[in-house]
Amino acid sequence: MTSSHGNLPRRWYAVGDPQADLSRLLETFRHHGLLDGDRLRDDVGLVSMGDHFDFGEVKLGQHEEFARKGLEVLEWFASHPREQVRMLFGNHDLARVQELVSFSDDDFAEARMLALDGQEDELRRRFPELPSASLITQDFSGFSTTQRTRVQQLLSEGRLECALVGKVGGRECLLSHAGVKQRERDLLGLDDDISLVELVTELREWFAGRVYEAATAWNRGENVPLDLAPLHLAGVAGQEAGGWFAARPANPNRPGIKDPEWEWNPSRPRRFDPHDLLPGVLQVVGHTGDKKLRRELVPWVDGDLGGHHEIHSLELSPHGPRYRKGFD
């Protein structure tokens, strides 16, 4: 992305879900010439695409280390001024103020041990609000209450954002963690022909209003969940979260779908048909890795995709969806 406004950096970069320790992240930035020491160069701007926590399954004895590493990554981004670093809000960040909003560190440790020991009946009895055991052992495995407090602060300060407008190659684009579909536009009651800038403005105002409601309670010492319904529904007993921050593109007719009702639940979707993308809108997103997209977008996948580390695009043409290497 580029910018010509005032003192903003002239060249901007976006980094997909930074779910890695800080040293690895800095090594990547250094390789691309973005750093001066361990800080961003003054002429460089950076957008984090969200999901600053949770590196996968955490083994016994590793939880405290992984929880600390996730917070270090978030703090590194937040330590730069807003004019230089913008942070998008991802579903793993959101879990801290939704599914895990009432958990203490001791609660989480107990729930994790019950899940690891396979005591799912006892886990459901003690923590009926948990959607599943795997959320504790894998998806949100790096949680700590310190993370939650920091996420609440950054939301209240407007540093964690739901959507941005940028430019790629001179063309306006929409940046968000998991992409904006016709579903979100329609749920907000917006016109089909709304402009990109107007759409992002509406999304940001709606999001800010929901954050304000939750932050008012947080400031009173009440750990209430951040309510983003109907755009995104938090996980509840027996049902994982779904909607805006959780859904990823997939072919609804691909072979081998194990649980179509879970994937395509209309109120809390975990997948979306690429035909539901906003027509004519260029989007920059994180959330979903290349390996999963290659598997779930069959047969709309090009034969020559290059490596997983390369930029890929999903485009919708009169001939249908196409997942390919690079972008125009």
- Counting the structural domains of the chain, the total is 1
List pLDDT tens digits, range 259-312: 999 999 999 999 999 999 999 999 999 999 999 999 999 999 998 888 878 889
Q: What secondary structure letter does DSSP report for 275?
A: G
Residue 76 maps to a domain: yes
Task: Provide the β-strand partners of residue 283.
Answer: 174
b/e per residue 53-73 (b: at least 16 CB within 10 A):
bbbeebeeeebeebbebbbeb
Residue 275 maps to a domain: yes
**CATH code, 135:** 3.60.21
Residue 302 maps to a domain: no
**Distance in angstroms (rounded) separating the CA atoms of residues 6 and 101:** 39
Residue 157 maps to a domain: yes
Residue 301 maps to a domain: no
What is the pTM assigned to this prediction? 0.93
Residue 111 maps to a domain: yes
Closest CA to 286 of 207, 176, 183: 176
Residue 303 maps to a domain: no
Is the model's pLDDT at 5 over the cut of 50?
no
For residue 307, the model assigns a pLDDT of 81
188: domain range? 11-288
Is the model's pLDDT at 6 over the cut of 90?
no
Residue 282 · residue 168 · CB < 8 Å = yes
Residue 304 maps to a domain: no
List pLDDT tens digits, range 76-102: 999 999 999 999 999 999 999 999 999
Residues in the chain, overall count: 328
- Which distant-in-sequence residues (6+ apart) come within 8 Å of 191 by Cβ? none
Residue 164 · residue 200 · CB < 8 Å = yes
List pLDDT tens digits, range 129-160: 899 888 888 888 889 999 999 999 999 999 99
Residue 276 · residue 183 · CB < 8 Å = yes
Pairing of strands 271-272, 283-284: unpaired
